[in-house]
């Protein structure tokens, strides 16, 4: 439990900073006169107001339609782009992915793909909270989780295909600055669907990430509160009574402020911040995976599922070890 708590604290703070900065970068496309750091503060205050006022349930329903709109727009963009000829610069030399120098990019990309592995714990707490409001079965919860997981995975593949057909082979480098990233992201859709879609796609993408920021703040805060509640229950006071559990709102506020501290440390630089967040997410994945498996194996699992779990653990641990060794060698 101590290992999960420590890793979860790190993941909560870093992932909060990552999604908050990415959301602010998309918002900066609409308000270029405001700095990304100021937009992060504005978004954090807006998220805290919504979560502390208890209006997350309404936004949760709305976010499903937002996600649906982004999916439709992405599918349409991929279909249209597939029907157009791919223009490649004559001087373009495709880089080989089979180099150790590409390892950092692969690890960073896999860190959040399709979702962080600790979502399993977050989803369990969300399901338990939902059961207090309405009648929800385990099958319903698993269906929602699996649907969201595979839709996110499909969207990742569609984004990859869209980038390969529109961005790959061009002389335009991928922008990692906050404002330039949002401009390039929206322009990729506009180049395929049409200029009329700029504000629509920009708005949908921002709302999608805004909902993600709310989910990260709410979800990780629940896991932190539950983790420390269990640890406090094990460590009783001198009177033999467990210490009182603090309110969820304090965890949300503390997590948000800690995330802002990370953003201020990186000075609002989107590229280094996201790279740091995604690499850290990947390196902690083997530990979260082992904790997940340790919990699941308490119940009887089919031999095929045990083999599948062990193969996944070896793959994640091996990949993380190779990257850690490569990172140490390149730092010398």
- Tens digit of pLDDT for each residue in 141-184? 788 788 888 888 888 888 888 878 877 766 666 666 556 777 77
Q: Is 304 a member of any domain?
A: no
Mutual orientation of helices 138-166 and 56-82 as an angle, nearest 10°? Answer: 40
Q: Which of 13, 164, 168 is nearest to 77 (CA)?
A: 164
Q: Is 186 a member of any domain?
A: yes
Q: Is 110 a member of any domain?
A: yes
CA 323 vs CA 209, 219, 301: distances in Å: 29, 29, 31
Tell me which range, 39-53, 76-90, 262-276, is most confidently predicted by mean pLDDT. Answer: 39-53
User: Which residue is listed with tokens 């790279």?
Assistant: 275
pLDDT tens digits, 292-322: 888 888 777 788 888 988 998 898 888 888 8
Q: Is 14 a member of any domain?
A: yes
Q: Which residue range(s) make up the domain with 222?
A: 2-88+95-286
User: Which residue is listed with tokens 């095929």?
Assistant: 304
Domain count, the chain: 1
Q: How many CA atoms lie within 13 A of 156 on its CB side?
A: 13
pLDDT tens digits, 77-133: 888 888 877 677 777 777 777 776 676 667 766 766 777 778 778 888 877 777 776
Max CA pair span of the chain: 77
């Amino acid at each position: 439990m101590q290992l999960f708590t420590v890793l979860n604290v790190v993941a909560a703070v870093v992932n909060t900073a990552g999604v908050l900065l990415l959301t602010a970068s998309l918002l900066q496309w609409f308000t270029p006169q405001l700095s990304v750091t100021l937009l992060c503060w504005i978004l954090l205050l807006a998220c805290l107001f919504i979560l502390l006022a208890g209006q997350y349930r309404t936004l949760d329903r709305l976010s499903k339609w937002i996600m649906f709109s982004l999916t439709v727009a992405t599918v349409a963009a991929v279909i249209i782009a597939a029907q157009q000829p791919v223009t490649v610069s004559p001087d373009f030399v495709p880089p080989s992915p089979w180099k150790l120098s590409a390892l950092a990019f692969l690890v960073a990309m896999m860190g959040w793909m399709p979702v962080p592995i600790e979502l399993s714990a977050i989803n369990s707490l969300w399901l338990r909270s939902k059961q207090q409001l309405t009648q929800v079965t385990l099958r319903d919860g698993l269906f929602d989780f699996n649907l969201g997981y595979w839709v996110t995975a499909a969207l990742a593949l569609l984004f990859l295909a869209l980038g390969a057909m529109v961005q790959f082979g061009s002389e335009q480098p991928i922008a990692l600055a906050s404002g330039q990233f949002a401009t390039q992201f929206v322009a990729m859709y506009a180049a395929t669907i049409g200029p009329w879609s700029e504000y629509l796609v920009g708005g949908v993408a921002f709302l999608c990430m805004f909902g993600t920021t709310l989910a990260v703040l709410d979800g990780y805060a629940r896991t932190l509160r539950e983790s420390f509640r269990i640890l406090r229950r094990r460590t009783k006071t001198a009177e033999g009574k467990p210490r009182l559990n603090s309110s969820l709102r304090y965890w949300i506020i503390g997590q948000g402020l800690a995330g802002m501290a990370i953003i201020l440390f990186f000075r609002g630089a989107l590229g280094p911040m996201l790279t740091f967040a995604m690499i850290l997410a990947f390196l902690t994945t083997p530990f979260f995976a082992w904790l997940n498996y340790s919990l699941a194996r308490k119940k009887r699992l089919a031999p095929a599922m045990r083999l599948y779990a062990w193969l996944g653990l070896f793959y994640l641990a091996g990949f993380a070890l190779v990257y850690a060794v490569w990172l140490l060698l390149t730092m010398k």
